[in-house]
Structure 1
Amino acid sequence: MENLYKTDYTQWLGQQRELLANGQFDQLDIPNLLEAMDSEMGDTTNELRSHLRVLLLHLLKYDYQKRILKDSWVEDKVIHTWMPSIYNSRMEIKEHMKRNLSLEPKTDEILSEAYLTAKRNAIKELNKFIRIENKRLNKNSIPDECLWTFEKITDDDWLPEG
């Protein structure tokens, strides 16, 4: 059974389900079942973190464009491409939270972790579009900590003020 766990996870999982359904507890692959459960629990956190990174990335870019850059080219040609990502990420986060209520107490911590990567990526991506050298971003251009709450960034009607 150990070999099947490593070579065909889906088939192994199906086998484990059958064993459980038939009450054959003595034949279960307990060590690998525990590992699979630990992995699955970690995946729900990672999935939320991933959706938050995408959402924060586009909110940070939107915010910086509206408050600082005010570049008409970005406003006309680029900013509209960020909106579907913002809306889709919010939808994915809300659906994920409905399926994983145990993540609720961890949202602030996960948001903080996601923010650091989103900040770094926002700086890199915005600098691709910034044509004026003195407007290029550095690590001090965006705050080190997220100024927005989880509730705020997942609110369908909210966008950073310009």
Structure 2
Amino acid sequence: MENLYKTDYHRWLGQQRDLLAQGQFDQLDIPNLLEAMDFEMGDITKELRAHLIILLLHLLKYDYQIRVLKDSWVQDKVMYTWLPSINNPRIEIEQHINKNPSLEPAVNEVLAEAYSLAKLKAIKELNKYIRSESKRLHKNNFPEQCPWTYKQITDDDWLPGE
């Protein structure tokens, strides 16, 4: 069975399912079954972190446009086109937390990790459009720690600067 686990995972998994259904517990490939379960369970914080990075990236860019650039054309014409890119990750986060309520105690820790990555991405993306080297963004253009709470950023009615 060990060989089948390594050569035809799907077939091996089907065999394990059949053995469970038939109550043939002594025939199960327990070590590999546990490994497969660990793999399938994965790191549920990984998905939360990914959605938070996307959300924070767009919130940081939105905030920078509002707070620093203060470009009225962007505010009037462009900002509202960004709302789906802010609201879509909020929906994904809410669904993920509802599906995995055990994540709730970890949201602030995951938020802190996601913020540092989102900040680097925001700097990189905003710098694509800055031609003058003296005006390029660096890590000090944004707070070191996330300036918003998890509750704020996941609130559908909240945007930075409001």
Q: Which TM bucket (shorter chain)?
A: 0.7 to 0.9
**2: CA distance between counterparts of 1:100 and 1:50?**
15
**2: CA distance between counterparts of 1:112 and 1:66?**
23
* Mapping for residues 1-162 of structure 1, pairs under 5 Å: 1-72=1-72, 74-75=74-75, 78-131=78-131, 134-161=134-161
The structural deviation recorded for 1:83 is 1.8
**1: CA distance between counterparts of 2:77 and 2:21?**
56
The structural deviation recorded for 1:71 is 3.0
Question: Which structure's CA Rg is the greater one?
Answer: 2
Structure 2 residue runs of 5 or longer lacking an equivalent are: none
The structural deviation recorded for 1:73 is 5.6
Aligned length, in residue pairs: 162
**2: CA distance between counterparts of 1:42 and 1:120?**
26
Q: Mean Cα displacement is larger for which, 77-86 or 57-66?
A: 77-86
TM-score (norm 1): 0.86
SS, match of residue 161 in structure 1: coil
RMSD: 2.3
Decide whether the 8 Å contact of 1:74 with 1:129 is kept in 2: no
The structural deviation recorded for 1:111 is 0.8
The structural deviation recorded for 1:7 is 4.1
Q: Percent identity?
A: 70
